[in-house]
Amino acid sequence: MKQRLLVLAASCIAATMLVTTTYAVQGGGGEVRPKDNSKGGKGSRKGSGTGKRDATGPVVRSTAADLTIQTIPGGCSVVVNGQSRGTTGEDGLLYLKGLKPGRYVIKTGKPGFRDDQRTVDVYAGHTQLESVGLAALPGSLSVSVNVAGASIEVSGVGSYTGSVSGLSVAPGTYRVRVMSTGYADATDQILVRPGQPASLSVVLRTLSVDEQVSQAFERFAAAKYPAVIETCRAVLVGSPGRADASLLLGATLFRAKDYDGSIQPLVDAVRGGASISFPISHHHSLMGLNSDKCDGTLVLNSERLVFVSDLPFLAKQNFSVPLSKVAELKSEPQKDERLHMKVFVPKKAVPPNTLPSAFDVTGLSGVAAHPQSVIRSSAARPTLGTPEKEDDRSYNFHPSEARLVRISKDMVSISCYGCPPTMRVIYEIIRQLQQ
Class of domain 65-133: mainly beta
Domain with CATH 2.60.40.10 in the chain: 65-133
Asked whether 70 and 127 are in contact (CB, 8 A), the reply is no
Confidence of residue 380 (pLDDT cuts 50, 70, 90): very low
In tens, the pLDDT along 180-213 reads 999 999 999 999 999 999 999 999 999 999 999 9
Closest among 263, 394, 278, 413 to 336, alpha carbons compared: 413
The letter for the amino acid at 389 is: K
Mean predicted confidence (pLDDT) in 129-143? 95
DSSP-assigned beta bridge partners for residue 118: 106
Could you report how far apart the first and last alpha carbons of the chain are, in Å? 150
User: What is the average pLDDT value for the chain, to the nearest integer?
Assistant: 83
How does residue 276 score in pLDDT terms, banded at 50, 70 and 90?
very high
* Parts of the chain belonging to CATH 2.30.29.30: 208-378+386-435
Please, is 190 exposed, middle or buried when counting C-beta atoms within 10 Å of its C-beta (0-12, 13-18, 19+)?
middle
What Cα–Cα distance (Å) separates residue 144 from each residue in 42, 178, 191, 376?
Answer: 87, 10, 16, 43
Mean pLDDT to the nearest integer, 218-227: 92
What fold characterizes domain 139-202? Immunoglobulin-like (2.60.40)
Summarised one tens digit per residue, pLDDT across range 82-93 is 999 999 999 999
For residue 418, pLDDT beyond 70: yes
Looking at residue 63, its pLDDT comes to 83
Percent of the chain at pLDDT exceeding 70: 80
Task: Identify the CATH class of 208-378+386-435.
Answer: mainly beta
- Boundaries of CATH 2.60.40.1120 in the chain? 139-202
CA distance 435 to 131: 84
What is the pLDDT confidence band of residue 316, given thresholds at 50, 70 and 90? confident
Top-confidence residue, 270 or 56 = 270
Mean pLDDT of 219-234: 94
Cβ atoms of 235 and 219 closer than 8 Å: no
For residue 387, the model assigns a pLDDT of 62
Q: Residue 82's beta-bridge partner residues?
A: none
Which of 386, 155, 340, 371 lies closest to 252, judged by CA? 371
Kindly report, residue by residue over 50-72, the tens digit of the pLDDT: 344 454 555 556 688 999 999 99
pTM: 0.66
Which secondary structure element, helix H or strand E, spans residue 254, and what is its range? helix 243-255
